[in-house]
Amino acid sequence: MSASEPTTTSSQAAAEVDASVRPGHDPAQPDVGRPLSPRLSLTDFLELTTLQEIQDSFAAVTRISTSIRDPEGTPLTLPTNAETRARSDQWLDHLLSPTEEEGDRYSAPIVVAGQELGAICLEPDAVEASTGVPEARARFEAIARRLKLDDDQIAALVDSAEDSFSPARAASIQFLYLMANAVARLCYEQYQAQQRIDELSTLYKVSTLLSAQRDVQQVLEIAASSIAEVLQAKAASVRLIRKHEGANELVPRAVYNLSDEYLNKGPIRVDKSELFQQAIDGEVPYVEDMATDPRIIYPEDARREGLVSMLCAAMVHHGKPIGLVQLFTDEKRKFTNFEVQLLRAMAQMLGTAIENAKLDQARMENQRMMRQLHLAADVQRRMLPGSMPHLPPFDIAARYVPSFELGGDFYDFIDLDGHLGVAVGDVVGKGVAASLLMASVRASLRAYAQDVYDLDEVIARVNIALCRDTTDREFATLWYGVFDPRTRRLTYSNAGHEPTLLLRRGKVQYLGAGGMLAGVDPAQEYDKGLVELQAGDVLLLYSDGLVDAFNFKDERFGRDRIVDALREAADRSAGEVLNHILWCMRRFTGMRRSLDDTTLVVIKVGQSG
C-alpha cells in the first residue's frame, strides 16, 4: 500500500466485516438500540503468559516488534526485550539442539488428557534448510575468496553467520512448541465437548428408557443393565432401603451379572454401611480393591465373585435416601471424573424415576378404585326409588345428597297392598363399608316388612339381623312408618333416628316413639307410634346430615332452623318444601362442604278423595 492511499483502522475493518455478515444492513445508518453482546477479551480464552510467548516468539523469528492489544487499544502484553530474548534464544538453541537418538529431528508432542495424540516435527533436512548454514557457508567462502581473505577470516565470517542464524532457529523451534500446545488445547476443548455430548446422550438414553416404564421393578432392572452397559462395567446393582426387624437394610431389588450366592451373602444395615453414609453426604465413594478395603462388609464374597473396583452413589428423593446404586469391575480401575459425575446423575435420575413409578402405580390403583367406587355408587343409586309413589292424598318428594361417592344414608318406599311403607336410615361410617351395611339394612327391612305389619316387630327383627351380621362398631339408625291413604293414618317406629317432624297449623310435633339404634343390643324392644293425619299436615323425614350441617363459623344448622324453613314453605307442594329447606341449608353453610350425607323425605297430606 502506498503512502498516498487512505489507511483503514481496525475499527473500520471490523465495521466492514460486521456489515458484510449482516444482510440488509446499511453501514451508513447507525445501529440505534441494537443490544450489545457481553464484552469479551483475548484473556477470556488465552492466558497472558501464552500471549506473551506468542508475541516474543514472533518478534524473535521475524525480527519485527509486535504487541497484543485489547479492542480499546490497551496493550495486554509487555514489550519484547530484544537482549533478553536473544540470550533466551541462544540458551534454548543449546537445549533444543537435536540429539543422535532423535536422528537430528525436532519433535513437539501433542498431548491431550495425558495421552500423546501425535507430534509436530522438523525433519533434519528442513532444519538445515531453515537455518541456511550449508548454503551460507559456501556463499561466504566464495565471497571471502573473491575478497582474498585468509582462512582465519573466512572461518570467523562463517561462525558469525551461524551465530546470527541460531537465535532464529531457537525461536522457531519454541514457536513450534507453542503451535503444538495450541493444537493440543483445541483438541482438548474438542475432547471436553465430546465428553459433554456423550454424557448428555447417555443421560438422555437412560432417561428415555426409565420414563417409558410404569412398573417399579422394570425401572430398576433396566437401570441396572443400562448403568453397567454405559459405563462398561462387569456388574451393577440397585439396592433399596427396607425396614426389617426395627432396622433399615439395603436390599437388592435389581442386579446385572451378579450371582445368587453373592446376593444372599448377608444383610447390609444402613447404619453399619460406611459407604452408604458417605454417599448420603453427597460423595460418590470409590473402592479400588473390594478384597482389601475395610469399608467392604463382605470382602471374601466379593473376591469369589470376581469383583475388584467399585463405585457407588445414593439415590435421594426430596432429601430422603431411598437406596444405593453400585457399579463393579473385574479389574482395578480408576474411574474418570466424567464417569463419577455420570453415575451420580444416573442415581439421582433413578431415584426420581422410582418415586414417579410408585406414584404412577398409586395413581393407577386409585383410578381402579375410583372405577369400582363409581360402579358401587351406581348400584347404590339404583337401590333408591327411581320415582316418587303416586298415592293420594299424599304428595311425596325425596332427595339424597351424598357427601362422598358412597354413603350410608338411604330412603325407601315399600308397596304394602295399598298401603305405603316409608323408611329413612343412616348407617355408621362412610365409603364402601357404609354402603354395604346400608344395603344389608335395606334388604332386611324389605324382607320383614312384607310379612309383618306390626312395625315394632319389623324394627326388632332388623335389629337382630344387624347384631348377628356386624361387629360391635357397626350400627344403624332407622325410622320406618306405614301410611294408610284411606284413613290417613300413620303407624311408625323409630330406632335411634332423628325424629320425624310433623307440622300442623304452625306447630311442630316430634315423632320419635321406638327405641335405641339398631345393631347394638339384640334383645332391644321397640315401641310404635300412631298418628291420625289431617289435611294440610306436612311431615319431614331427614338424616343427621341436615341438622349437623356447619358453616365457616362452625355453627350448626340445627333443628330450629329446620323448623323455620319448614314453616316458611308449608303452604307449597312437597317438592317445593324440600327445595326450600335445602336452599336454606346451603345458604347457611355457604361453600363449606358437608362431611355427612343428607337425606330428606317430605310428605304433604291433602284432602281425601
Tens digits of per-residue pLDDT, 162-210?
A: 555 455 556 666 666 666 676 567 667 766 777 677 667 766 776 676 6
Q: Which residues pair with 504 in a beta bridge?
A: 507
Q: In whole numbers, what is the pLDDT of the chain averaged over residues?
A: 78
- According to the 3-state scheme, what is the secondary structure of 162-222? HHHHHHHHHHHHHHHHHHHHHHHHHHHHHHHHHHHHHHHHHHHHHHHHHHCCCCHHHHHHH
Cell numbers 438500540 correspond to: 33
Residue 250 lies in a domain: yes
282, 337: one domain: yes
Q: Which helix (H) or strand (E) holds 75?
A: none
The torsion angles phi and psi of 457, rounded to 5 degrees, stand at: -75, -35
Last residue of a domain, one of 301, 329, 361: 361
339, 423: one domain: no
Confidence label for 219 from pLDDT (cuts 50, 70 and 90)? confident
Q: What is the model's pLDDT at position 529? A: 95
243, 104: one domain: no
443, 585: one domain: yes
388, 508: one domain: yes
Which three cell numbers mark 587?
A: 345458604
581, 470: one domain: yes
Lowest mean pLDDT among 143-157, 324-338, 371-385, 593-607: 143-157
Residue 514 lies in a domain: yes
345, 413: one domain: no
Please list, in sequence order, all residues whose beta carbon lies within 8 angstroms of the beta carbon of residue 196, skipping any fewer than 6 positions away.
none
Residue 571 lies in a domain: yes
Q: What is the model's pLDDT at position 211? A: 65
Tell me the per-residue pLDDT of 135-175, one tens digit each, with 9 for 90 and over.
Answer: 655 665 666 666 566 677 666 656 655 555 455 556 666 66
Q: What is the model's pLDDT at position 154? A: 65
Check whether 1 has a pLDDT greater than 50.
no
538 half-sphere exposure, CB direction, 13 A CA radius? 26
Tell me the angle at which helices 133-146 and 151-211 cross, rounded to the nearest 10 degrees: 160
pTM > 0.75? no
Residue-range definition of the domain harbouring residue 128: 81-185
Q: Which helix (H) or strand (E) holds 565?
A: helix 558-568
Q: What is the model's pLDDT at position 405? A: 59
321, 467: one domain: no
Last residue of a domain, one of 185, 206, 240: 185
268, 304: one domain: yes
468 half-sphere exposure, CB direction, 13 A CA radius? 10
Residue 249 lies in a domain: yes
Contact criterion met (CB below 8 Å) for 526 and 598: no
Closest CA to 591 of 549, 533, 560: 549
Kindly give the pairing relationship between strand 514-515 and strand 507-511.
Answer: unpaired
3-state secondary structure at position 599 = strand
Cell numbers 310404635 correspond to: 528
Lowest mean pLDDT among 34-38, 348-352, 548-552, 578-582: 34-38
Cβ neighbours, 10 Å, residue 526: 24
The torsion angles phi and psi of 122, rounded to 5 degrees, stand at: -105, 115
Residue 366 lies in a domain: no
Confidence label for 511 from pLDDT (cuts 50, 70 and 90)? very high
108, 255: one domain: no
Tell me the per-residue pLDDT of 390-425, one tens digit each, with 9 for 90 and over.
Answer: 999 999 999 988 876 566 788 999 999 889 999 999
Percent of the chain with pLDDT over 70: 68
Determine the Cα–Cα distance for residues 376 and 438; give it in Å rounded to an integer: 12
Range 295-308 average pLDDT: 94
Residue 205 lies in a domain: no
More confident site: 390 or 7: 390
Tell me the per-residue pLDDT of 258-282, one tens digit each, with 9 for 90 and over.
Answer: 999 998 888 888 888 888 888 888 8
497, 398: one domain: yes
357, 404: one domain: no
Highest mean pLDDT among 161-170, 450-459, 537-546, 585-594: 537-546
3-state secondary structure at position 489 = strand
Q: How many domains does the chain have?
A: 3
